Amino acid sequence: KQEVTQIPAALSVPEGENLVLNCSFTDSAIYNLQWFRQDPGKGLTSLLLIQSSQREQTSGRLNASLDKSSGRSTLYIAASQPGDSATYLCAPTPGLTGGGNKLTFGTGTQLKVEL
């Protein structure tokens, strides 16, 4: 069974810092991995999807990397802003799902960016 760990569980940084969120997973037989953000009381918003054949995926100030063989992904946020404050979750997709996209979610990193 896939297990996903996100470290740290919470992080507080001053505005403008570059930061790295970590995600590790136990089963490396994944098809892809997604990063999401969740604002309080809201649903999840997809940020990046990185295929197992890729090493990096970028969107604006966000960069996700994937090292499938070691079971790790990182989300890099450049020049953090207060609006980046949210919980960030990673979710690897297993390689064989038999008809559905059975993601396993980590419990997230709660990020607070302070002025």
Partner 1 sequence: DAGITQSPRHKVTETGTPVTLRCHQTENHRYMYWYRQDPGHGLRLIHYSYGVKDTDKGEVSDGYSVSRSKTEDFLLTLESATSSQTSVYFCAISEGGLYEKLFFGSGTQLSVL
Under the rule (CB under 8 A), what is the footprint of partner 1?
4, 31-32, 34, 36, 41-46, 49, 89, 91, 93, 97-103, 105-108
Residue 38 Cβ, how far from partner 1 at the closest point, in Å?
9
Tokens coding 90: 């990673």
Q: Which two tokens stand for residue 50?
A: 């990185």
Q: Cα(10)–Cα(55) distance, rounded to whole angstroms?
A: 26
Q: Least CB distance from residue 44 to partner 1, whole Å?
A: 4
Pairing of strands 10-14, 109-114: parallel
With respect to partner 1, which residue has the nearer C-beta, 14 or 100? 100
User: Cα separation of 94 and 11, whole Å?
Assistant: 28
| Nearer Cβ to partner 1 (30/113) | 30
Nearer to partner 1, 21 or 80 (CB): 21
